[in-house]
Amino acid sequence: MELGIRSDIPTYSGGLGILAGDVIRSSADLRVPMVAITLVSRKGYLKQKITDTGEQLAFPDEWAPERTLELGPQSVNVTIENRNVKVQTWVYNYKSPIGSAVPIFFLDTDVEGNAPEDRKITDLLYGGDDRNRLKQEIVLGIGGTRLLEASHFNIAKHHMNEGHSALLTLELHSRTASET
């Protein structure tokens, strides 16, 4: 759900995001073939300000992915609340100092043709209520799995950083069940 790879790509809130970024960096340094998937989180996690009275104020940490990432060649569809939601991808290739790279796909529902409420699904990292969180997890787990298949990656193992992408197991199971 979160990934800390660069400070100007605010798609992380802390420890888990930094851990995910470290896994990507290590994989690139060790030339371990890997692809990473996360959400674009256009409004980041949050910027906080502490007032003179000690009150915490939270503001979106907005960024424009088109300034840093390349629009990906693939898009996929997921069904959310009986609606077809298109998920586009943005790509960032993390390059190791030794020359190898790990592609990172950022999933984005702010796509023309999606319903207004669906365009906001990937806006905020951990934003909204439990309902929006489930929508984000559908995009990440199911949409991410479909993206890997559409991109013709030969995936031998899946790693889930916490349970946010756990719906990928349902998508993989449904594919296995339909093959038998």
Is residue 172 one of the residues assigned to a domain? Answer: yes
What CATH number is attached to the domain comprising 167? 3.40.50.2000
Is residue 33 one of the residues assigned to a domain? Answer: yes
**pLDDT confidence tier of residue 13, bands split at 50, 70 and 90:** confident
Is residue 5 one of the residues assigned to a domain? Answer: no
Is residue 10 one of the residues assigned to a domain? Answer: no
Helical segments of 30-126, H only: 116-119
Q: What per-residue confidence (pLDDT) applies to 180?
A: 63
- How many independent structural domains does the chain possess? 1
Is residue 4 one of the residues assigned to a domain? Answer: no
Q: How many other CB atoms are found less than 10 A from the CB of residue 134?
A: 13
Is residue 40 one of the residues assigned to a domain? Answer: yes
Q: What per-residue confidence (pLDDT) applies to 168?
A: 83
Q: Which residue has the tokens 């995910």?
A: 20
Is residue 94 one of the residues assigned to a domain? Answer: yes
Domain carrying residue 75: 15-179
- For residue 19, the SS3 value is helix
Question: Ramachandran region of residue 41, left (φ > 0), alpha (ψ -120 to 50) or beta?
Answer: left
Is residue 88 one of the residues assigned to a domain? Answer: yes
**pLDDT confidence tier of residue 162, bands split at 50, 70 and 90:** confident
